[in-house]
């Protein structure tokens, strides 16, 4: 296995650029992931092209040698350059980004739609919850945190490639496309909303839960495009819930019936 000893190696620079630039990830159709557990997990839904490992990581997890793609040993100071945070596990992979479109949405399915949810931790958490509760796909509007940025990938724990993620641009038009397939679209909003307990879990044509940004919530246009609105009943001791928590509660309510 070839060993990389320089932080200025072209492959290392390329990987670092994938980690730092969403525009570069989109243009290349690839992303960088980090972690002894995360990289093998991502192999279940994305093609691994290149794996970088330190000798210590390979000794601790020899099964990494069985993963696909080109493999390179890297020295610790090179791994430090690849790492998104100060501490790392010495395992990094370049994967091809799975591509999904709104055309894949089907009548009878369950979907999550995020409008301008900017926090990577919230987006990752919601992807993980969508996978846990049997949802068929996640729609992302413009302005959402990048699914394949390092922080989002860590929060999603591999769910980013286990649930189809569709970048849809403007959310109202995407909602209209779902409703044309008889999918009921429910906005998480306070105005003229029904409590979650009043919204039945099952919809024959399918359901889409629509969640807005942490600060502003959903736009008026997106709320108007939806079939209705729901809210999570709460005490007056808090003003609102974290988007990841609120969304997960909604996803649990509309979870796959067999769960």
pLDDT tens digits, 121-138: 999 999 999 999 999 999
The model's pLDDT over 65-74, given as tens digits with 9 standing for 90+, comes to 999 999 999 9
Helix, strand, coil share (%) of the chain residues, nearest 5 = 35, 20, 40
pLDDT at 144: 96
Q: Residue 162 and residue 175: Cα distance in Å, rounded?
A: 22
Low-confidence spans in the chain with pLDDT less than 50: none
Tokens encoding 129:
């919850």
pLDDT value of position 51 = 98
The pLDDT of residue 90 is 96
| pTM, entire model | 0.92
């Amino acid at each position: 296995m070839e060993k990389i000893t320089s932080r200025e190696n072209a492959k290392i620079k390329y990987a670092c650029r994938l980690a730092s630039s969403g525009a570069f990830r989109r243009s290349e159709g690839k992303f960088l992931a980090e972690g002894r557990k995360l990289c093998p997990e991502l192999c279940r839904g994305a093609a691994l092209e290149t794996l970088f490992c330190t000798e210590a990581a390979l000794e601790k997890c020899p099964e990494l040698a069985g993963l696909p793609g080109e493999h390179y040993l890297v020295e610790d100071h090179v791994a430090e350059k690849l790492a998104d945070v100060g501490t790392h596990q010495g395992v990094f992979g370049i994967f091809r980004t799975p591509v999904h479109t709104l055309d894949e949405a089907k009548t009878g399915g369950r979907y999550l739609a995020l409008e301008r949810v900017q926090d990577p931790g919230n987006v990752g958490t919601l992807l993980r919850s969508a996978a846990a509760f049997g949802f068929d796909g996640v729609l992302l509007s413009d302005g959402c945190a990048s699914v394949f940025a390092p922080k989002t990938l860590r929060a999603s724990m591999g769910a980013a490639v286990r649930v189809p993620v569709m970048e849809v641009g403007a959310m109202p038009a995407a909602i209209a496309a779902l409703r044309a397939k008889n999918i009921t679209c429910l906005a998480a909003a306070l105005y003229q909303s029904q409590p979650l307990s009043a919204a039945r879990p099952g919809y024959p044509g399918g359901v889409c839960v629509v969640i807005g940004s942490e600060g502003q919530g959903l736009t008026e246009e997106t709320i108007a495009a939806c079939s209705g609105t729901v809210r999570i009943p709460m005490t007056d001791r808090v003003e609102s819930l974290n988007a990841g928590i609120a969304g997960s509660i909604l996803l649990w309510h509309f979870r796959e019936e067999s769960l």
